[in-house]
Structure 1
């Protein structure tokens, strides 16, 4: 067990080092996120038009939600589809699968390292994000304690979903189109730019039944107090069920993908 943990830590450190090689990209991403926060919160402020609440949310709560959602989206952004597709095209994947660590575990460790780096950058720009958009303290002590738990569950679900999209490269070789489509659909259904409270009835039912809401909406809604009490625990239970289901599905897909490995280069 310890050798495996050391190996996974090595992957995590490697992912951090890889991400830090592109510091300009990291800073540009932070800058774009801050600009997005500024724009989207101003648009929503105008949309309220002096109304106190819309869909049960005050303007203040909506602004805090959208600011958090934008910061979370950067932290949860996954490079796995591009990493896997690139290694499949180059043939480097043959070295990955020959290692004693499982391939899905290697990719999840890389994702963890990338997210750790992005989290550090987002924490540093959070004060500025709060000034441009708006942030306040959590809705209460329970909200403050449960928010990071919800964020961790969301990260795990997002990593597993991204891994499944990434594994499509073993069939398609190039998965850019699938990845872009996935990111668009996932961001929308996760409530990244529009809180799920504003969704029309059938669309909201669909979004709440799928795992994407736990990636962005659930943590932010817990933070502002929109979700509280037993509803939080029910959400956590459902998120854990989705994690088990997606982990099993990823294992099945990986076994099938492994049989399709063809070296195109390298």
Structure 2
């Protein structure tokens, strides 16, 4: 167990080192996120003209939600889909699967290292995001304590879902189309740009039945006080259930993907 943990820590450190090689890209992404916060919050502020609340959310709460959702995207954004596809295309994946550490665990460790860097960048831009988007503190002490838990569960779900999409490369080799489609659908159903409370009833039912809502909506809604008490607790239970189910599905898909691996040469 200790040897395995040392191995996974090495992957985390490697991911941090890799991300730091592209610092300009990291800060460019942060700048784009700040611009997105500016545009989205201004549009939604205009939509509230003449109204105090819409679907139970005040203008201030909606602006904070959207600002927070954009910042969360920096933290949980996963490059696994593209990393895995690139390594399958180049054949480097043979080195990954030949290591004593499990392949899914290696990829999740890379994701953890990437997130460490992205958290640092997020903390740097939070003051600017607060100035631009009007980010305020959590709705209360309970919201402040529950928010990190919700965000961690969302991070785990996003990592597992990204890993599953990345594994499609073992069948398709080039999975860019699948990855782009997934990112679009997942971001929308997670409530990244439109809070789920604004969804029409049929679409809200679909979003509530899928795991994406726990990636963006649940943490942000807890922060602003839209979800609390029993609703927050039930959300944690369901998110944990999804994590268990997706872990099992990942293990099953990985076994099938491993059987498809073909190595040419010596």
TM-score with structure 2 setting the length: 0.98
Instruction: Provide the C-alpha distance between the structure 2 equivalents of 1:28 and 1:171, rounded to a whole number of angstroms.
Output: 33
8 Å contact from structure 1 (residues 91, 264) kept in 2 = no
Determine if contact 1:89/1:264 at 8 Å carries over to the other structure: no
User: 1:154-193 residue pairs with structure 2 within 5 A?
Assistant: 154-193=154-193
Structure 1: distance between partners of 2:264 and 2:153: 36
Q: Cα offset for 1:263?
A: 4.0
Give distance in 1, aligned partners of 2:192 and 2:6: 35
Equivalent residue for 2:46? 46
3-state SS, counterpart of residue 260 of structure 2: coil
Q: Deviations over 1:37-96 (max 9, x none)?
A: 000000000011131000110000000000000000111111001100011011110110
1:150 aligns with 2:150: yes
Structure 2 unaligned blocks of 5 or more: none
CA offset digits 1:161-181 (Å, max 9, x no partner): 000000000000000000000
Question: Structure 1 CA distance, aligned partners of 2:176 and 2:133?
Answer: 32
Q: Tell me how far apart the structure 2 counterparts of residues 265 and 212 of structure 1 sit (CA, whole Å).
A: 42
Give 2:81's aligned residue.
81
In structure 1, runs of 5+ residues without a counterpart are none
CA change 1:43–1:90 in 2 (3 A) is same
- SS of 1:73's partner is helix
RMSD: 1.1
Aligned length: 266
CA separation of 1:67/1:262 partners in 2, compared to 1, >3 Å: closer, same or farther?
Answer: same
Residue 238 (structure 1) aligned with residue 234 (structure 2): no
Whole-angstrom CA distance in 2 between matches of 1:122 and 1:264: 43
> What is the distance in 1 between the residues matched to 2:93 and 2:228?
44
Q: Give CA deviations for 1:209-261 in whole Å, capped at 9, x if unaligned.
A: 11000000000000000000111110000000000000000000000000001
C-alpha displacement at 1:137, in angstroms? Answer: 1.1
Structure 1 residues 40, 141: CA separation in 2 closer, same or farther (over 3 Å shift)? same
Q: Which residue of 2 aligns with 1:8?
A: 8
Per-residue deviation, residues 167-215 of structure 1 (Å, max 9, x unmatched): 0000000000000000000000000000000000010011011100000
Between the aligned partners of 1:46 and 1:264, the Cα distance in structure 2 is 60
- Note the C-alpha offset of 1:265: 9.7
Contact 1:160 1:246 in 2 (8 A): yes
Q: Paired residue for 1:118?
A: 118
Q: Which residue of 2 aligns with 1:91?
A: 91
Q: Is the 8 A contact 1:78 1:162 kept in 2?
A: yes
Aligned-partner Cα distance in 2 for 1:237–1:264: 46
Distance 2:37 2:164 in 1: 29
What residue is the counterpart of 1:133 in the other structure?
133
Q: Deviations over 1:126-153 (max 9, x none)?
A: 0000000111111110000000000000
- Structure 1 position 222 matched with structure 2 position 222: yes
